[in-house]
Structure 1
């Protein structure tokens, strides 16, 4: 159960239930995105990539199999413990807070699948981008793959019930104070659980303001994993490439 004093992502991401609920994510689509993105950035074999907020490391693994040297970092100790079983000479995992600069520079830093906008303050959003800037080599690229808040607001599903591995998850979505909320309730082993996901409904304009403050330049903006042009009304994703 999430405690009032915990950040929601610290509590929720470090439970096995988070991974159960999202186990059906589209791995093929994720692979397509990694192929398209690394090709677009023209990353050579052996290029060094930081996978920021890597979870259990599935995308780090995929990138490593493409021939890149990958470091995956995440705030969740249990996720990193799981990911470490896949380590090799060119794939490493560490517990790390993405608000702080990792002590190494990379050809690319990837922050994928809406792993941004969790924080309560603008200060933490800005210092995360500052950290990405500090982690890039001179000609390196930062990538933030975020939701398109305009599209999400238009297509929000308020109530959903989802059964996975014998657990029935009751999901309620709503928008409050410019945050997109997802309340998740379920019962497991005769115990009731409740967690909340909360992501700030950041727009392209918000990110441009962050980039201006930090001193990085937006190079490209895409609206899906095929890297088609971003359209605020119709694109499902907001994919930003900067350096």
Structure 2
């Protein structure tokens, strides 16, 4: 049995099985979100965007097709290696820890699709927001797109099996010590694997406290990728614009 839980995001995200499990994510929805978000922010032509925790770069690549100069960073060496095949003069990828400031300034810094709250050391949440602040130019905007924790908990599926590429992924979910936890087990290539995802159950109040400590100002909050109003009880997302 291969069981990897220490710094789960560093090990799980670097396996091919992570990308297999989530291969059916909705690209059209993601592109709609990018269209809506960049229009709302009114970013300058050829504006510079930093995509934090970019994975294999699907959002960075799309933002680049809209005319933006995009840098994608991620902790996963394998994901960045895959993303680098798409690089051009205005699209770059680099292995980098998002809790540490990236040494350039941007018109926008995006942290998308619940790529926050992974850390076992909770001080890293504040470090990440402080890093975003340092990465923004004078007119830049920070964006964190997080799950709406109440909605997720109210609709949590305790257990299910998802079959992808003939692999049966057994998934168990629970709320534990302030984290939303998903245990994932499966067999592939005659080996058994166990992984765990842990995301801090941060709500809007928690983020406001982090923003205040980091010295950034919350400008707007949206509840979905169409940028409709945020409702604590029913919105699927918690999308925060700050600077």
Interval containing the TM-score (normalised by the shorter chain): over 0.9
1:2, 1:228 → 2: CA distance? 40
The equivalent of 1:38 in structure 2 is 38
Mapped pair 1:72 → 2:72: yes
Paired residues in the alignment total: 242
Whole-angstrom distance in 2 between the partners of 1:221 and 1:67: 26
User: Residues of 1 paired with 2:46 and 2:209: CA distance?
Assistant: 33
Following the alignment from structure 1 to structure 2, what is the Cα–Cα distance between the partners of residues 120 and 219? 28
Aligned to 1:184: 184
Consecutive unaligned residues of structure 1, counting only runs of 5 or more, are none
Q: Is the 8 A contact 1:144 1:239 kept in 2?
A: yes
Structure 2 segments unaligned to the other structure (5+ residues): none
Tell me how far 1:44 sits from its aligned partner: 2.2
- The aligned residue for residue 83 of structure 2 is 83
What is the CA deviation profile of residues 141-180 of structure 1, one whole-angstrom value per residue up to 9, with x for unaligned ones?
0000000000011000001111101111000001100100
**What CA distance in whole angstroms lies between the structure 1 residues aligned with 2:11 and 2:222?**
31
Q: Could you say which residue in structure 2 is the equivalent of 1:118? A: 118
Conserved 8 A contact 2:224-2:239 = yes
For 2:44 and 2:3, the matched residues in 1 are separated by 43
| In 2, Cα distance between equivalents of 1:199 and 1:3 | 16
Separation in structure 2 between the aligned mates of residue 166 and residue 224 of structure 1, nearest angstrom: 32
Task: Give the ranges of 4+ consecutive aligned residues of structure 1 lying more than 4 Å apart after TM superposition.
Answer: none
| Distance in 2 of aligned mates of 1:185 and 1:2 | 9
Query: In structure 2, what is the Cα distance between the partners aligned to 1:37 and 1:2?
Result: 38
- The Cα shift of 1:45 comes to 2.0
Q: CA deviation at 1:121?
A: 2.5
Per-residue deviation, 1:96: 0.2
